[in-house]
Each structure stands twice: as structure tokens, then as C-alpha cells.
Structure 1
């Protein structure tokens, strides 16, 4: 039988089994990976993004620890149900090139009626840059031509998230 070594505050420890079947305290990366798996199973095609908090929670967990910039589009139908989460562009530690033409093509290919954009700032600062604001306006204008609404653009930095919609930027 395995013996567990409990820390002083064992009530907050999470345990995993190692290759030998012994229990040990989970690392932060293991906890995050498992949380991502659970969340991915809960957020599937047809899930309704009924509030900004649903998107915030999902996307901050998915992107918050990335070491390079990633630009994601959450494609939604007319009732704001999930069609697909697409990682459209991947960049470096301080930027990613985003092409509005490609975003429009992907939205049309999935028959999306709305989208939520999200990208991360590996720097740890969630404050949107002037370039982030300009890009969002370009994307909003391009998608409006094909009747796809931009509901929000979230910037994730670690566990901090800034919403363009909540800030009145969008």
C-alpha cells in the first residue's frame, strides 16, 4: 500500500500517480494540463458562450501559460454556440502576424455568425497595445462586410485577462 506524505496544508495538495503507481504531489504544470483537458471536454461544439466569463475562463486557461504569442478565434453560430476554437496565427515572444483576409476566410468556411478573438501576451502584461486596438478595428471592419459580428477581443497574460468589450474599446 502506498504511503502519502502530506504537507502542512494537505487539504490544498493535488496528487497524481507516478509510473510505479505511487502517489506524489502534482506539479503546477500537471494540474494545468489536467484542467485544460477537463475544460476542453466541457467546451465542445454547441456549447453556448452565454457570458463573457465563460470565454474569459476558457481562454485564460488555454493561453495563459504559452511562451509565444498565439492568436485565436472562437467561431460561434447565431445563438453564440461554439462552432470551433481556431488557433489562427502563432508568433514569437512579442508578436504574431495576423492577416484579416485569412480570418474572414476561416469564418466563412465555418459559417460563423460571430467570433471572439483572443491572444496572449507572454510578457505578463495584459494591457492592449495600440497595435492590438488597430488590428481589432481592421478585423471588425473586414468581418462586418460578411455579416460576422466581433463580440470581444481578450488579451491574456498569465491569469490576467483584459476584455475590449468590457473596456468599451470594441
Structure 2
């Protein structure tokens, strides 16, 4: 928004916001809300943010919420980008990212562009591999959230 002042009045010129501008603003609002919560204490604390960040994508992306020892957010990183039906995820790169931010805990998230958030067998396998890799460096794995039309917490379902 641009404000133009003249002698008698104030005129506002509104530039058309793109869809990306609106989504970026919404993501900023949600990350601020998460930070105000202080810490992530349950899967629903992060679900709205992750749904906004991943829900509308036409391809898969794999993100990680890195947390400190008190489960406060250090960073949210997009680590991998895939295609319409999959993304390659490499445990070595996840470990490298954890060490780079000095993380104590992690919540994984990825989307299913189909809208069906049911965790696949491949989702379960990579979750186990990532949990084991992070355990070697002392980073706690808290959850893996699959985003579709809704969000499914693998921890909430007892899958991890």
C-alpha cells in the first residue's frame, strides 16, 4: 500500500496482491503465532502453520521444524522438493541440517498433493530411517505430519 499526501487529503493506492503475496503474509502470521505460543507441546500447535505452508502445493515438499531443548522453534526449513507423487529424502542431509541449526528436536512434515493425508508405507519407512539417524546425534524426533486436505500426525496415530 502506498500513501500519497496532498495538501487537502490523503490518497491510498493499493497494488494488486498476488496469491503468493497473500500466502506469504498468512505464513508469516502463523509463524508469529507459533512463536508466541512459546513452545510446541502437541501436534495441533504446528498443524495450521504446516497446512498453510504445504497444503496448496501441486508437488511434494519435505519440511522440518527444528526445535530447541524447550521445544521452541529455531527454524522451519524446506529440505526437499519432489514431484506430484513423491520426494526423495536423504537422511544425511537431514542430519547436516540439524547440526547446522544446533537443533535438539524435530518435527517432519510433507504434503500429499492428492489431498489424501494418509501416511504411505514409504512415509513410514523414511520416518523410521530419519528417527534412527537423528538419534545418533542426540536430536529427538517428535512427529511426522502429513498434510493433505487435513493434517495427519503420525505420532498421534501411534505410528512412531
- Same fold (TM > 0.5): yes
> How far off its partner does 1:30 sit?
7.3
Please state how far the C-alpha of 1:47 moved relative to its aligned partner. Answer: 4.2
Question: Alpha-carbon deviations, 1:18-50, whole Å to 9, x = none?
Answer: 549xxxxx9988765542232233345994213
Structure 2 partner of 1:144: 135
- Alignment partner, residue 95 of structure 1: 86
Q: Distance in 2 between matches of 1:32 and 1:130?
A: 31
Contact 2:69 2:104 in 1 (8 A): yes
Return closer, same or farther for 1:27/1:109 CA change in 2, 3 Å cut-off. closer
Is 1:122–1:157's contact at 8 Å kept on the other side of the alignment? yes
Q: 1:58 to 1:142 in 2, by over 3 A?
A: same
CA distance in 2 between partners of 1:169 and 1:64 (Å): 22
2:9 is the alignment partner of 1:53: no
Q: Could you give the per-residue CA deviations for residues 54-92 of structure 1, whole angstroms, max 9, x where no partner exists?
A: 111111111111111000010001110111000000011
Unaligned runs of 5+ in 1: 1-16, 21-25
Paired residue for 2:155? 165
Q: State the number of aligned residues.
A: 148
User: Where in structure 2 are there 5+ consecutive unaligned residues?
Assistant: 1-12
Question: Taking structure 2 as the reference length, what is the TM-score of the superposition?
Answer: 0.82
Q: TM-score, normalised by structure 1?
A: 0.78
Q: Which residue is equivalent to 1:121?
A: 112
What's 2:73 paired with? 82
Quote the residue 1:130 is aligned against. Answer: 121
Q: Is the 8 A contact 1:46 1:83 kept in 2?
A: no
Provide the secondary structure at the position in 1 that maps to 2:70: coil
Q: Judge conservation of contact 1:72–1:117 (CA < 8 Å) in 2.
A: yes
Alpha-carbon RMSD: 2.5
Residue 30 of structure 2 contacts residue 48 of structure 2 at CA under 8 Å; is this kept in 1?
A: no
